């Protein structure tokens, strides 16, 4: 654990000699009592529920926007507007996720501040900051795309570049979230909902990144490098993010994992952020 760049769990030995393990992600996602029964799917007073719902709506709009039949039916401008609205839902969910990470930090570390904090040593803070930056970049690219012509200077500078930056930010954020859930760069934890969520988001981010590369406009033309790959990458990424968002709702009802679920957990391991 000491070789890891971030602490992702903490351990302590109970009086009876058993080892208690508290994962940083579980602690952050369960700041309120664990959801049970119907609360897992309908809890509008729960911030974690809204994070899942907002990400799900944004992902659905991205998936719908890339379907050729929909774009043909509503027109190019309305189709671009669909992506912009979807990006706004992403940004809203990203901000709530950032607040979730900040609220999980002990007040002494954030010095009483609840929004603008700087904690680069915490993996959850890093992941949510990168993701929020990516959503803001998507806001810019999708907003300008509503009126920009493919191949124009405006499109190259204010649509493709922010799209590429946003995709890169999503990829970094997803990699950090994956590390936190795995307690390393790789793990096999199919019984963990968090593992499936971060796997889906990481694969979705890769798909978005491929889509962004394929969306590069060849100089002197109005042609994308590969329109089919762009559309397919966006669709796959949106569907995977949608799956991750739905699983976020299920994660709220997940029981706290035991020490056997954390690879290499031992009483001497470094503590995870509380």
Task: State how far the Cα of 183 lies from the Cα of 168, in Å rounded to an integer.
Answer: 22
DSSP 8-state code for residue 224: B
Percent of the chain with pLDDT over 70: 83
Across 34-48, 112-126, 180-194, which has the greatest mean pLDDT?
180-194
Give φ, ψ of 20 to 5 degrees: -100, 130
Question: Are the C-beta atoms of residues 217 and 226 closer than 8 Å to each other?
Answer: no
- Confidence (pLDDT) at 20: 66
Task: State how far the Cα of 26 lies from the Cα of 17, in Å rounded to an integer.
Answer: 23
pLDDT band for position 135 (cuts 50, 70, 90): very high
Residue 244: burial class (beta carbons within 10 Å; 0-12, 13-18, 19+): buried
Biggest CA-to-CA distance, the chain = 72
Task: State how far the Cα of 158 lies from the Cα of 198, in Å rounded to an integer.
Answer: 29
- Spacing of C-alpha 137 from chain mean position: 14
> What is the arithmetic mean of pLDDT over 29-54?
84
Q: Is 223 helix (H, G, I), strand (E, B) or coil?
A: coil
Cα distances (angstroms) measured from residue 88 to each of 54, 99, 203: 9, 17, 22
Task: Give residue-wise pLDDT tens across range 117-133.
Answer: 888 889 999 999 999 99
DSSP 8-state code for residue 187: -
Range in 47-56, 62-71, 197-206, 249-258 the model is least confident about: 249-258
Question: Are the C-beta atoms of residues 98 and 127 closer than 8 Å to each other?
Answer: no
Beta bridge partner(s), residue 10: 22
- Confidence (pLDDT) at 224: 78
Task: State how far the Cα of 56 lies from the Cα of 16, in Å rounded to an integer.
Answer: 44
Question: Are the C-beta atoms of residues 46 and 249 closer than 8 Å to each other?
Answer: no
């Amino acid at each position: 654990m000491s070789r890891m760049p971030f602490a992702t769990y903490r351990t302590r030995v109970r009086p009876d000699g058993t080892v208690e393990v508290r994962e940083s992600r579980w602690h952050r996602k369960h700041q309120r009592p664990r959801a049970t029964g119907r609360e897992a799917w309908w809890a509008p007073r729960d911030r974690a529920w809204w994070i899942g719902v907002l990400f799900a709506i944004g992902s659905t709009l991205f998936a719908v926007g890339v379907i050729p039949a929909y774009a043909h039916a509503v027109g190019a401008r309305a189709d671009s507007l669909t992506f912009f609205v979807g990006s706004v839902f992403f940004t809203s969910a990203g901000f709530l996720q950032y607040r979730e990470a900040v609220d999980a930090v002990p007040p002494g570390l954030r010095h009483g501040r609840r929004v603008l904090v700087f904690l680069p040593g915490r993996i959850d803070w890093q992941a949510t900051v990168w993701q929020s930056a990516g959503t803001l970049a998507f806001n810019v690219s999708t907003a300008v795309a509503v009126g920009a012509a493919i191949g124009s200077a405006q499109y190259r500078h204010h649509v493709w570049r922010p799209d590429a930056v946003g995709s890169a930010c999503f990829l970094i954020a997803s990699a950090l979230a994956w590390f936190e859930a795995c307690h390393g760069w790789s793990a096999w934890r199919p019984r963990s909902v968090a593992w499936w969520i971060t796997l889906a988001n990481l694969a979705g981010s890769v798909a978005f990144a491929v889509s962004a590369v394929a969306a590069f406009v060849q100089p002197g033309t109005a042609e994308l490098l590969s329109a089919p790959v762009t559309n397919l990458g966006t669709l796959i990424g949106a569907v995977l993010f949608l799956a991750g968002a739905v699983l976020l709702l299920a994660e709220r009802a997940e029981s706290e994992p035991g020490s056997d679920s954390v690879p290499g957990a031992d009483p001497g391991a470094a503590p995870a952020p509380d």
